Structure 1
Amino acid sequence: MFEKKYDVIVVGGGHAGAEAAAAAANLGSRTLLVTMNLQTIGQMSCNPAMGGIAKGQIVREIDALGGYSGFVTDKSAIQFKMLNKSKGPAMWSPRAQNDRMRFAEEWRLALEQTPNLDFYQEMAIGLLVKGNKVVGVRTSLGLEIEADAVVLTNGTFLNGLIHIGEKQFGGGRAGERAATGITEELVDLGFDTGRMKTGTPPRVDGRSLDYDVMIPQPGDDIPERFSYLETPKLTLQRDCHMTRTSAEVHNLLREGFDRSPMFNGRIKSIGPRYCPSIEDKINRFADKDSHQIFVEPEGWNTVEVYVNGFSTSLPEDVQYQALKKVKGFENVKFFRPGYAIEYDYFPPTQLKHTLETKLVENLFFAGQINGTTGYEEAASQGLMAGINAHLKLKEEAPFILKRDEAYIGVLIDDLITKGTEEPYRMFTSRAEYRTLLRQDNADLRLTPRGYELGLASEERMRRMEDKHNKAKSFVDFFKKTSFDPVKVNTILDNVGSAKVTQSDKMFKVFSRPKVKMEHMLELESVSNYVTENQLDTEILEQAEIQVKYSGYIEKEKNNADKLHRLENVKIPENFDYSKLKSLSYEAREKLEQIRPVTISQASRISGVSPADISVLLVFLGR
């Protein structure tokens, strides 16, 4: 059946697997995507949405590098919102509601149009390994498919176990079987493994809900897009709605706690801290008698609705009776109950920055197998694993993003340096250089890197350069153009800012907190410049951010430069930490386990103190 040997085999067709397969194939590797069900490629297993706090930045980064998630999201979006607009631009985060069926369809169509990519539907149950190098996969039919590199993106399917109350059964997702065999083989090869938990809420019939008593949650008046390409503009949007639980709802749910797998010991693994189940919220926040519920449509035409905020593994009868007491859900009809799922993962400290495993050469892990949660986190890892699998085979330098270059860099560095014992979710607070890592400049940061790789297209590069040049010229215009004090004072008076006494450069007055681009456009010279140069809202926003936050941006760049100096201090690959008796016992243990590549990475390991870093620097002659 397989006459040729593949360069890269990707196991799993979720968000990580789809991005990995696309990246490797687009870079020129002969790639095979092996998945248990070709009808669920790019499936949104949980909520029908992409982006959100920090996650939206990741989708923009994937798109800037030439990945697929951004334009797939745009083509299937039913609503778009820019979150946190009341805060500074480092916090702005795009989010889209999606048509679940169209999202998966767009992913399938995009992958089918990708050259060098083949597909095969079957369960991969094992790896072919020679020495310490992977050479292919083995399927449930006994087929052995050879490849020079393998990327595992198994999601929640590895020995997946679904819990609904006291009932439990094997499965990787509702209606789909679990994947078996791979965990056991990896353990035999010497890998450490663990178990994690995630959950999902009930899906209900939207025709049975009373939206009139809920609060509408519309999209933005002028919706943006995720992709930096010319994807379709969203002209029509569907509202989400918000309602709340009550003390009565909480009391009904508590009646089922004795049958909850979370509380009776059936589930022993740790769930996501920042996306807790409704029973966990009631237990942890006992002083609150109400929690928000977001009612999210699953698509343009379907009546299926996702009940965001009501994730649960309680018995189905308890779920039903409690949800009926939520305002607007009095006549609710279930499509399916919520459930929890436990699955195997592999602590990511066993990986290199490329996401290649340390134990087995040319074997890469991406997505929930590494302990993350979320479509966006998975997709970004898949992209990086696909890129690096290709580069490794071509004997080219690895593609690694630093912490000041991308949220993707923060994510991967956190995982392999610190590890995780609970499902890892990205937040803006995890990035120390978040003023540099904004959603609006992901193309400026990363498209040149993607273009250099051969993944970002000529069109992307041209659009990025045009944006860069126009924004820079506009900022330079403010720096070198003087204003008329009389005209500017009219603006300053209207916004409640102190008047000026003499002429100065526009940059100085524009830097004031209360002065916005809309105010500067009241000046004839500024509005003429915008008209003559045909500047769109994206350029205006970019220029405004660069003017108003120039001081913060410069400070973070300086801090990042200091970090890079430590990045340049390499630690020999087989360095013997036991020779350094001045290191603390914990530091020696952690350094031996994680084996950091640079002093900078070593400094971020939990348990390695500044004193330990000083010892290392002295020993390395620095």
Structure 2
Amino acid sequence: MYRKVGIFLEVKRYIQGDYDVVVVGAGHAGSEAALASARMGLKTALLCINLDSISAMSCNPNIGGTGKGHLVREIDALGGEMAKVIDQTFIQSRMLNTSKGPAVHSLRVQADKRKYHEVMKRVLENQENLYLHEAEATDMIVEDNKIKAVVTQTGAIYNTKALVLATGTYLRGRIYIGELNYSSGPQGFRPANTLSSSLENEGFSLMRLKTGTPARVLKSSINYEGMEVQKGDPEVIPFSFENIDKDLNKDQEDCYLTYTTQECHQIIRDNLNRSALYLGDIEGVGPRYCPSIEDKVVRFSDKNSHQVFIEPEGLTTDEMYIQGVSSSLPEEIQAKFYKHIEGLENAKILRPAYAIEYDAIDATSLKINLEHMTISGLFFAGQINGSSGYEEAAAQGIVAGINAALKVQNKEALVLKRSEAYIGVLIDDLVTKGTKEPYRMMTSRAEYRLTLRQDNADLRLTDIGRKVGLVDDKRYEAYLYRKENIEKELKRLEKVKVNPSEENNKLIEELGSTKINKTLSLKELIRRPELNYEKVKQFDPERKELRKDIIDTVEIEIKYEGYIKKQQIQINQFKKLENKKLDPHMDYSHIDGLRLEAREKLAEIKPESLGQASRITGVSPADINVLLIYLEQQRRKNEPERTN
């Protein structure tokens, strides 16, 4: 019955069951993928090495932030779960960048890490069509370039029509703390050491990436007196559009800002030779925008201090997260330099900082729908694609889950364009340009960020979520109510006129604005920088009470109307290139005028449109012009001849 392989017993394989979709990994990507597939009516299995690791926040205890907050809102607009769970489990809420324009306003909240996991786990457990299994996937079965099944460590075979790999940092995961390194997943969970070989057997070339996490310190051992207290906003704005008219205000936990010192930096410099990063043990490249404290000290040697944020990990623990001080130095050195951070002189470290290295694929081997180019039905999402962060993972997860389901249903794939969503920017960047380091979403990556605001994510994406089957009737009716009221109010404000009477001009001057010499609409008055929707209410006796979220969007649309119109022209130009489709089997080697590098890159990435081709590194504007001419020649060649 069993065959011995080395010192181990090879288990007998058996059919566990037949599924439409199987998702491997139940982190933030896998959870969203599995929920999307199951909610679209497909029988879905979700495999997880340890059920206690479901949607675990292995690193920072927060959701959102600059760029990332936009992703969470978009996941919610499509019908995802992350926003709803964090609205239930946050312990502090802050809107960032409020001194800047609305395009970069980003919601960021502190999470109760344990409660977030528990709530998401309960959602998964009770989702119809979803079957949760604690199991390690060790092998894939591929026949005729089609995914057929997944095999687990126990020999169970899960037959499937589509597979989503969302393995996070578990593939051949390895922890580094100074000279010490050992096989492990994040937070002490065991790694997945076998599935990588299955991927390599299918021709995948895997790369090693690295990320890290700081120490956790006992709350009572911190001296907060010299620190800057960072409190939550007095008015909580929800992440989920489902909670937009609900009161989520509660007692919030405080965070704190402190700084490293020159003494701290000197200890780090003196021991750089003991950092796993500088020892050369770590092959993988770390995230540029979240460097370790060793990196900061070396790269910014002119700085005498760096910001450190002290953040609570939850309401049922006294562990505090030391944001900004991730490290791969030995534990004994950590104990020394952490004590030279202001306020941490007597800090008791509960968990040391560490770096973790793991396998990832080259995402340029994927189509824009996150399906592999040559293996039909095989999808990838999250850190295995080279991204970093919970939000980036969840965003890919919901798209991969939707597309896996659509594949099984023989329906057209969902592709979000760069002009439609930050999710579109994220996926397009990964599959078109690839990455050699963990990719992080930022507002600066989006060309059309003025139209891709977090306040209008529902207006952009809820119709799409409804179309694929993730937005129910109640949610859709609430969306239509908001959409219709925004449109009605914008039209109404254009019709309400203010005459240049002496009385009106006196009121306008009292509001800090200049007189008007002709009749203006309320919309034109609101557009003035010193005025807003609330200030002009005295000129609007027939105004009806509207929700704050509706008013906020109306005001943004009015104040930035000119810029939005200009951006819409750019988007229309962008769409022209996006709509010029390219044959994935096109032979670029025979197109005269294309440079050699462009031919190689185009053949490798197989762009689906001229727009995507234009964003490939190594493809120049001149190459795009060559392709445009070629496409036009092909169109004319294939046109039927006209007869008189």
User: TM (normalized to structure 2)?
Assistant: 0.94
Who is 2:4 aligned against?
none
**Which consecutive unaligned segments of at least 5 residues does structure 2 have?**
1-13, 634-644
CA distance change for structure 1 residues 353 and 85 in 2, over 3 Å: closer, same or farther? same
Secondary structure of 2:301's counterpart equals coil
Q: Aligned partners of 1:513 and 1:269: how far apart in 2? A: 49
Tell me which of 388, 402, 408 is aligned to 2:423.
408
Shift, 1:301, TM fit: 3.2
Matching of residues 54-453 of structure 1 within 5 Å = 54-230=67-243, 233-453=248-468
Q: Aligned partners of 1:396 and 1:488: how far apart in 2? A: 58
1:598 maps onto 2:609 in alignment: yes
Moved over 4 A (4+): none
CA distance change for structure 1 residues 193 and 3 in 2, over 3 Å: closer, same or farther? closer
1:578 maps onto 2:589 in alignment: yes
Tell me which of 20, 27, 31 is aligned to 1:18.
31
Shift, 1:4, TM fit: 3.3
Shift, 1:390, TM fit: 0.5
Shift, 1:549, TM fit: 0.8
Secondary structure of 1:150's counterpart equals strand
* 1:279-311 deviation digits (Å, cap 9, x = unpaired): 101111111011111000011232111100111
Shift, 1:142, TM fit: 1.9
**Which consecutive unaligned segments of at least 5 residues does structure 1 have?**
none
Shift, 1:514, TM fit: 2.0
The alignment yields a C-alpha RMSD, in angstroms, of: 1.4
Secondary structure of 2:107's counterpart equals strand
Secondary structure of 1:320's counterpart equals helix
* 1:219-260 deviation digits (Å, cap 9, x = unpaired): 111111000113661322111111111111111121221101
Shift, 1:314, TM fit: 0.8
Kindly provide the amino acid, as one letter, of the partner of residue 69 in structure 2. G
Matching of residues 413-562 of structure 1 within 5 Å = 413-485=428-500, 486=502, 488-490=504-506, 492-494=508-510, 496-521=512-537, 523-525=538-540, 528-529=542-543, 532=544, 534-562=545-573
Q: Aligned partners of 1:515 and 1:431: how far apart in 2? A: 29
8 A contact 2:16–2:156 mirrored in 1: no
Who is 1:621 aligned against?
632
* 1:31-66 deviation digits (Å, cap 9, x = unpaired): 000000011111001111000001000000000110
Q: Aligned partners of 2:534 and 2:214: how far apart in 1? A: 43
Shift, 1:267, TM fit: 1.4
8 A contact 2:78–2:471 mirrored in 1: yes
8 A contact 2:496–2:540 mirrored in 1: no
Secondary structure of 1:213's counterpart equals coil
1:610 maps onto 2:626 in alignment: no
Q: Aligned partners of 1:11 and 1:383: how far apart in 2? A: 14
8 A contact 1:447–1:456 mirrored in 2: yes
Kindly provide the amino acid, as one letter, of the partner of residue 630 in structure 2. F
Kindly provide the amino acid, as one letter, of the partner of residue 353 in structure 1. I
Secondary structure of 1:289's counterpart equals coil
Shift, 1:516, TM fit: 2.1
Q: Identity over aligned residues, as a percent?
A: 46
Secondary structure of 2:278's counterpart equals coil
Q: Aligned partners of 1:590 and 1:75: how far apart in 2? A: 46
Who is 1:47 aligned against?
60
Shift, 1:212, TM fit: 2.3
Secondary structure of 1:401's counterpart equals coil
More divergent stretch after superposition (225-234 vs 439-448): 225-234
Kindly provide the amino acid, as one letter, of the partner of residue 185 in structure 1. S
Figure out how many residues of one structure are paired with residues of the other and give that number.
617
Kindly provide the amino acid, as one letter, of the partner of residue 516 in structure 1. N
Shift, 1:16, TM fit: 0.3
Shift, 1:524, TM fit: 4.7
1:35 maps onto 2:48 in alignment: yes
8 A contact 1:191–1:359 mirrored in 2: no
Q: Aligned partners of 1:187 and 1:40: how far apart in 2? A: 26
User: TM (normalized to structure 1)?
Assistant: 0.97
Who is 2:640 aligned against?
none
Shift, 1:328, TM fit: 1.3
Q: Aligned partners of 1:3 and 1:165: how far apart in 2? A: 43
8 A contact 1:55–1:426 mirrored in 2: yes
Q: Aligned partners of 1:489 and 1:43: how far apart in 2? A: 59
